[in-house]
Chains A and B, each alone.
Chain A
Amino acid sequence: MKIQAEINGEMREFESSPWRRLLDVLRTDLRLTGTKEGCGEGECGACTVIVDGRPVDSCLVAVGQIDGRSVRTVEGLADGEILHDVQDALVRFGGTQCGICTPGIAVCAAHVIEREPGASRERLRELLSGNICRCTGYQLIVDAVADAAARRLARSDD
């Protein structure tokens, strides 16, 4: 079928079987390889993208379901060369190690702090718990996301 969707702010139109995984279409057809496959069954969160303001595992979404919707991937976080607060904090705080879970975590965390910049560390852990990282023990990621949230909150107070 013909699918129309806004991908990272840009209207895209493409042909695809509606049953293919959104993950495969992003990676193969649109060459947006920042979205990663870790498990293919919605457990690890490495393929997290935002569809119409909701974080989803793109391995569990049929591409037909995004017709007429907006999709935000890791490639859509930074503003040109200016990193999103979450990306910048993940680098500064050591919240990325091997990096394979990082795009999914960055996407989810960006969504979380944009919605709930005042979230406590405990709340952040809960909101991010759909994303698995095997390297960090999560501590440095929580440090990074908490810092990014605080910066965002400070800006909104200005």
Chain B
Amino acid sequence: MLSTTDGQQNSRRARNEGSVGRSIPRVDGVAKVTGRAQYVDDLELPGMLYGATVRSQIARGVLESITLDPDYDWTDIVLATAADIAGNNVIALIENDQPALVPIGGEIQHVDEAVALLAAPDRRRAREAVQHVRVTTTPLPAVFSMEEALSGQILLHGDDNVFKSFLIRKGGDIEAAMAGADLVIAGTYRTPAQEQMYIEPQGMLAHWDERGRCHIIGSLQCPYYVHKAMKVLLDRDDDGVVIEQSVTGGGFGGKEEYPSMIAAHAAIIARKAGCPVKLIYDRDEDIAATTKRHPAVIEHRLGLYSDGTIAAIDVDVVIDGGAYVTLSPVVLSRAILHASGPYRAGHVRVRGRAVATNTPPHGAFRGFGAPQTTFAYERQMAKAARALAMDPLEFRRKNMLRLGDTTATGQTLSYSVGSAKVLDAVARVAGEQTVGSGVDADPAAVHRGRGVSFYYHGAGFTGRGEVHLSGRAAVALLPDGRFEVRSSSTDIGQGTLTIFSQIAATALGVPLDRVSIADQSTRHVPDSGPTVASRTCMVVGRVVDVAAQKLRARIADWAEGNDLADKPTATQAAMMACDMAGTASGEVCETAQYEHPPGIEWDDDTYSGAAYPVYGWAACLVDVAVDPHTYEVAVERCVHAVDVGKAIHPIIVKGQIEGGTLQALGWALLENVVYDGGRVANASMTNCIVPTFADTPELETIIVEEPYPFGPHGAKGVGEIPMDGPAAAVASAIEDALGVPFDELPVLPEVIERKLDPESAS
């Protein structure tokens, strides 16, 4: 349809179609910098009430009764309990074990679990009224650590407190392989819970229309996750629940599964109240009650030959799932699939268990299990290079997976392996010196050290997950000649609106301003699968690309039939589309569906085969300075090279890498969720801190492009990988500076003090 005939047209076409690979202004940029973007708390409906949640104060026990303070004025306040739930009182996800509200007689499983809901004419009164609801319980013994869970003395789940376990094997007997190695390095690594700390607290606004349909709008990543859960909870069919995303102020996984809980609450209380209810968490409540990154304990044994090649890898992973199954099985899956790292090894064994405790459920957070195991294996590799007196980058290069190599699950890597390129990129920056100057003899001097790490991240759902999801997206030509992209991949700040506009405009051959993105409502957009797993650009972006190409072909066919086929420029193409739209009755729409790359096979029973269709690759270099008196660690330099296949929008890619990098630096050094009896003891931004401008060095980002043949224009995932590796580089840099290993996060000043000077620390 758009074959060009002369140079002028060629250049015009290049301008219009060339937006892929260019950093165009974000399509939502102006709305956001002017404050016009509407987040859920900015929305109001006539007659709207404000919701609040009554929560348990104990970690485990029987809910005996819920009564109201007789001295409080309840006249304008609505109360709802589990008895008001029309359908099945569960938040449907993997296992239907988590109630929306604990029923009377039911068992409370964690502190801050929801037991009742209130709605009041204003927010202050709703929160005040919560203090006047009397909840009586009979406490039961609770489990607060993974060790207690595995001891089985108190059973919360099945006969062993294990929600899920996995085993991966490659090669022969792992003990024999270790025995045959020249050197075995063993370590135990602990990583803490991490709060996503999106700056917009979670919230939902629900109302029921006159036909009994429930409308919920709010801050969320996955409209169809909420849709599925609400159908079960509210006993409605597909059309009986409408889920819409408002502009969402960050997610990082924290708004993957938990929004179903808040949506449930908003829907229940709105139905009871008979008017719209907005339920917005305040920050303390958000930190206390919602999901966080799974704490993990990882035992890692690394068998090495004296020439520096890896003989065997043996890993045992335990993650704390918290009180309900939620997403822990899939977080564990990703943790163990990344646990042996991007390294060649003849013999591998990885075991993993997700256990039940009485803490609020842990859940999705950028990296989804991989940051925990990456921390462990990259600390191991740092120790190996040190023990072998090898350059740490050279040690990685010697053992890295290359094109044609086979992973721990038996997947042969046949394309898009950026391992050497990311290591080379960091090596160029590192120059001659890849480790720091070492321990300074002068104890009063600032201690400086350097650490590196190298890692990979599988993009998209695991195994045949994308086949099961069969994500769909559509591109429509509207009657006014504009194009609309319809997918349920939300923009939570990572740039979906912008890159989907670029991909569609490029495929259609029309100017960017002719393309818009449909509102994220389950009434308007098909199920593209969730906005998770680094899959939005790579998987759904590809589906958008295919749908747009199908539509372009259809317009071309129509043009040929109407003798208009030689209109080659983008503007003319758009005009032609207008002609067609005007002729057609209503819109013209093409839908596409995910297609699995050929030859990518996975066996769920044996956990072997191609765990992911493709991997992103990354290397990171960190220089630290440790204050000799306060033991504060300053990151003085952080260089991050990430292979993303193709940067559809380089600035958005850079923003993803740098944002993920800083979350990883924060996790390494200062972010810390403290639990006391299953309760978050530091549930406020004053005490549960994240890095500020002043904590952050200039971040140096190197985008590497090793194209993926089945991604849009070669793009792979980028969202999660930057979170995986920097923490290990930080810990290794501190070891380099101080001469002692740090195998537990966060490396707080008091942790360093205890290690260097145990006497004074006491």
* Residues of chain A at the chain B interface (Cβ within 8 Å): 27, 32-41, 43-44, 46, 73-75, 77-78, 83, 86-88, 90-94, 96-103, 106, 121, 124-126, 128-142
Contact of B32 among A32, A93, A102, A130 (CB under 8 A): A102
Chain B interface bracket (under 10, 10 to 19, 20 to 34, 35 or more): 35 or more
Given the complex, which residues of A lie within 8 Å of B41, measured CB to CB?
Answer: 33, 36-37
Contact (Cβ within 8 A) A93 B651: yes
- Chain B CB within 10 Å, residue with most, of A106, A126, A139: A139
- Chain A CB within 10 Å, residue with most, of B684, B685, B693: B693
Given the complex, which residues of A lie within 8 Å of B658, measured CB to CB?
Answer: 136-140
Contact (Cβ within 8 A) A138 B493: no
Give a binary string over B19-62; 1 marks a CB under 8 Å from any A CB, 0 the rest.
00001011011111111111101100000000000000000000
Given the complex, which residues of A lie within 8 Å of B516, measured CB to CB?
Answer: none
Question: In chain B, what residue has the closest Cβ to A87?
Answer: B33
Given the complex, which residues of A lie within 8 Å of B684, measured CB to CB?
Answer: 39, 41, 43
- State the main secondary structure of chain A at its contact with B: loop
- Whether B630 is near chain A, meaning CB under 8 Å from some CB there, is no
The complex places the Cα of A44 from the Cα of B199 at a distance, in Å, of 8
CB-CB nearest 6 A-B residue pairs: A34-B35, A98-B493, A100-B249, A99-B32, A137-B658, A91-B29
Given the complex, which residues of B lie within 8 Å of A92, measured CB to CB?
Answer: 25
The complex places the Cα of A141 from the Cα of B658 at a distance, in Å, of 11
Contact of B250 among A27, A86, A134, A139 (CB under 8 A): A134
Contact (Cβ within 8 A) A125 B283: no
User: Interface-forming stretch among B304-312, B481-489, B592-600, B694-702?
Assistant: B694-702
- Whether B252 is near chain A, meaning CB under 8 Å from some CB there, is yes
Given the complex, which residues of B lie within 8 Å of A131, measured CB to CB?
Answer: 693
Contact (Cβ within 8 A) A44 B198: no
Contact (Cβ within 8 A) B197 A128: no
- Whether B81 is near chain A, meaning CB under 8 Å from some CB there, is no
Given the complex, which residues of B lie within 8 Å of A99, measured CB to CB?
Answer: 28, 31-33, 37, 247, 249, 493
Given the complex, which residues of A lie within 8 Å of B36, measured CB to CB?
Answer: 34
The complex places the Cα of A55 from the Cα of B234 at a distance, in Å, of 46
Given contacts A77-B34, A126-B694, 14 further A-B contacts (CB under 8 A): A37-B201, A73-B35, A74-B33, A91-B25, A97-B659, A98-B492, A99-B31, A99-B493, A101-B249, A125-B696, A132-B692, A133-B199, A134-B252, A134-B659
Contact (Cβ within 8 A) A100 B200: yes
Given the complex, which residues of B lie within 8 Å of A74, measured CB to CB?
Answer: 33-35
Contact (Cβ within 8 A) A100 B39: yes
The complex places the Cα of A91 from the Cα of B34 at a distance, in Å, of 10
Query: Chain B nearest CB: distance from A80 CB in Å?
Result: 11
Given the complex, which residues of B lie within 8 Å of A90, measured CB to CB?
Answer: 29, 33
The complex places the Cα of A36 from the Cα of B31 at a distance, in Å, of 14
The complex places the Cα of A33 from the Cα of B495 at a distance, in Å, of 23
Query: Chain B nearest CB: distance from A96 CB in Å?
Result: 5
The complex places the Cα of A102 from the Cα of B33 at a distance, in Å, of 6
Contact of A100 among B199, B651, B696 (CB under 8 A): B199
Query: Chain A nearest CB: distance from B714 CB in Å?
Result: 21
Contact of A39 among B26, B249, B283 (CB under 8 A): B283
Query: Chain B nearest CB: distance from A42 CB in Å?
Result: 8
The complex places the Cα of A43 from the Cα of B30 at a distance, in Å, of 25
Given the complex, which residues of B lie within 8 Å of A77, measured CB to CB?
Answer: 34
- What are 19 residue pairs bridging A and B, where the CB atoms are less than 8 Å apart in the complex? A32-B35, A36-B200, A38-B201, A39-B283, A39-B684, A41-B685, A44-B199, A87-B30, A94-B26, A94-B652, A94-B654, A99-B249, A129-B693, A134-B690, A135-B493, A137-B699, A138-B693, A139-B698, A140-B651
Given the complex, which residues of A lie within 8 Å of B696, measured CB to CB?
Answer: 125, 137-139
